[in-house]
Structure 1
Amino acid sequence: MTVTTTTTLAARLAEAACVTDAFALADGRVLDSYFDEYRLAADPQLLYDVTDAMAALVPEGAEVLAGIELGGVPLVVALSAATGLSAAFLRRLPKRYGSRRQIEGTSVEGRRVVLVDDVVRSGGQLVAMTRILRVAGASVTDALCVLERPLGGRLLLDDHGVVLRPLLAEADLPAPEVTS
């Protein structure tokens, strides 16, 4: 992606999906802004453009793209369509009825799987999903995201043998406009 394309896409994402408001993380920390993945997923042209750009991040040899509920699911569907790779869908917990599965969609056993999520902060959710996929017999060495926030996720993933490939870093987003 060119600098112009990155800048334009970052500006569109910031306008559509970056919200300045309190946002509580699972560990109790509170951020003053957040990325609303539902606003991204609700805009078909923006979703198309984001996943078109993310397709270039998919590593050679990838066989399955695995989206983490809920933010990663629309992304992985669109990215699957853009790349032609099969998709799998990961639940945080196994379904409590019906199939009782935690991994839905394409089989991951014996395949090279790339994790897909909207935002990476601490990396804990991606590490948990990496473990689940590895127990199911998948090879997981890469994770893609739309936005990386510098809260330790890259280091944690690296410690677990997973390379983080973000489309954008938080620093790529334009500063919010100050109104007086």
Structure 2
Amino acid sequence: MTTSTSLAGLAARLAEASCVKGPFDLTDGEQLDSYFDEYRLAADPALLRDTAAAMADLVPDDAQLLAGIELGGVPLVVALSAVTGLPAVFLRRSPKGYGSRRQIEGAAINGRRTVLVDDVVRSGSQLFTMTNTLRVAGAAVTDALCVLERPLGGRMLLAEHRVTLHSLLTEADLSGPRAGDAS
């Protein structure tokens, strides 16, 4: 999916399926009138497939591994892995308290060039934290992908830490009411 017409069509489908009128409370105390519900995206197989296909164009050519952040990034990274053929890892916000006790599950990292995948980026703090987690584990992280970028400083924070953000859409690309996020 490389034409602007097909991306505009995907944006309209995402807005219709996933932009929900609020109110919605964010962890930082902010309240949104509407938000982007990534679970509605993940629950629609055709929309998830088409979103992953569009995001595949954003994956750097030298990427070796995809890393999805719980919870919204996991279905995206699974679909993107299927489209690109790249292996995936799954990141918890904190290590599991039982069983494997791991924070990172899936393919071996082994110094591979890893691309972070998440649904929505606002401040970038979650991607920044997961970048550090992956780097400590030995991954080379220089890029991150998201479906929706809200212009609230995330791109700048990541750039300060040598991570380039590639967003499929920005808030302005979605028609209708202000689209926030459920992250």
Q: TM-score range by the shorter chain?
A: over 0.9
Which residue identity lines up with residue 74 of structure 2 in the other structure? Answer: V
2:180 matched to which residue of 1?
none
Alignment of 1:96-135 (within 5 A): 96-135=97-136
1:167 matched to which residue of 2?
168
Report the RMSD for the aligned CA atoms in angstroms. Answer: 1.1
Distance across 1 between alignment mates of 2:110 and 2:154:
26
Distance across 2 between alignment mates of 1:27 and 1:162:
23
Unaligned runs of 5+ in 2: 178-183
Distance across 1 between alignment mates of 2:151 and 2:26:
14
Q: Secondary structure at the match of 1:92?
A: coil
Distance across 1 between alignment mates of 2:118 and 2:143:
11
1:8 matched to which residue of 2?
9
Distance across 2 between alignment mates of 1:34 and 1:108:
33
Q: Secondary structure at the match of 2:24?
A: strand
Which residue identity lines up with residue 48 of structure 1 in the other structure? Answer: R
Quick one: percent identity of the two aligned structures? 72
Residue-pair matches, total: 177
Q: What per-residue deviation string (whole Å, max 9, x for no partner) do you get for residues 62-106 of structure 1?
A: 000000000000000000000000000000010000110000001
Distance across 2 between alignment mates of 1:146 and 1:46:
12
Which residue identity lines up with residue 102 of structure 1 in the other structure? Answer: Q
Alignment of 1:44-123 (within 5 A): 44-123=45-124
Distance across 2 between alignment mates of 1:32 and 1:151:
16
Q: Secondary structure at the match of 2:57?
A: helix
Distance across 2 between alignment mates of 1:127 and 1:113:
14
Distance across 2 between alignment mates of 1:25 and 1:156:
19
Q: What per-residue deviation string (whole Å, max 9, x for no partner) do you get for residues 138-157 of structure 1?
A: 00000000000111111111
Which residue identity lines up with residue 99 of structure 1 in the other structure? Answer: S
Distance across 2 between alignment mates of 1:133 and 1:101:
12
Unaligned runs of 5+ in 1: none
Per the TM alignment, residue 166 of structure 1 is displaced from its structure 2 partner at its CA by 0.5
Runs (4+) of structure 1 exceeding 6 A deviation are: none
Q: Secondary structure at the match of 2:88?
A: strand
Which residue identity lines up with residue 80 of structure 1 in the other structure? Answer: S
Which residue identity lines up with residue 159 of structure 1 in the other structure? Answer: E
Q: Secondary structure at the match of 1:57?
A: coil
Distance across 2 between alignment mates of 1:150 and 1:20:
20
1:33 matched to which residue of 2?
34
Per the TM alignment, residue 16 of structure 1 is displaced from its structure 2 partner at its CA by 0.2
1:136 matched to which residue of 2?
137
**TM, length-normalised to structure 1:** 0.96
Which residue identity lines up with residue 83 of structure 2 in the other structure? Answer: A
Per the TM alignment, residue 33 of structure 1 is displaced from its structure 2 partner at its CA by 1.5
Q: Secondary structure at the match of 1:147?
A: strand
Per the TM alignment, residue 175 of structure 1 is displaced from its structure 2 partner at its CA by 2.1
